[in-house]
Amino acid sequence: MSRIVDRRVEVVCGPDGRPSRFGRGKKNQERERVRRVLDAWKETGRWWAGETEKIFYRVETETGGVYELYTDRQDWYLYKIYD
């Protein structure tokens, strides 16, 4: 199971540009450290409607949680939380 959140979050990236930790919870107070990136992909969206390309990352945290994050190259979003 999973639930879609799709809200802006603060993300710190490693030297490779992939997320290494991110805020979650109210006002990003809880910090999650990324143990590993499980998957990464790009979506072009509705380019004909002016949507920008998004880069998605499915990550596993040090606490064992699995999340999907994405960036539109300006901001980061917590898209999905897996149960």
This prediction has a pTM of: 0.88
Give the span between the Cα atoms of 52 and 31, in whole angstroms. Answer: 27
Q: Name residue 41's beta-bridge partners.
A: 56
Q: Could you list the pLDDT tens digit for every one of the 83 residues in the chain?
A: 999 999 999 999 999 999 999 997 666 667 899 999 999 999 998 889 988 999 999 999 999 999 999 999 899 999 999 98
**What pLDDT score was predicted for residue 28?**
60
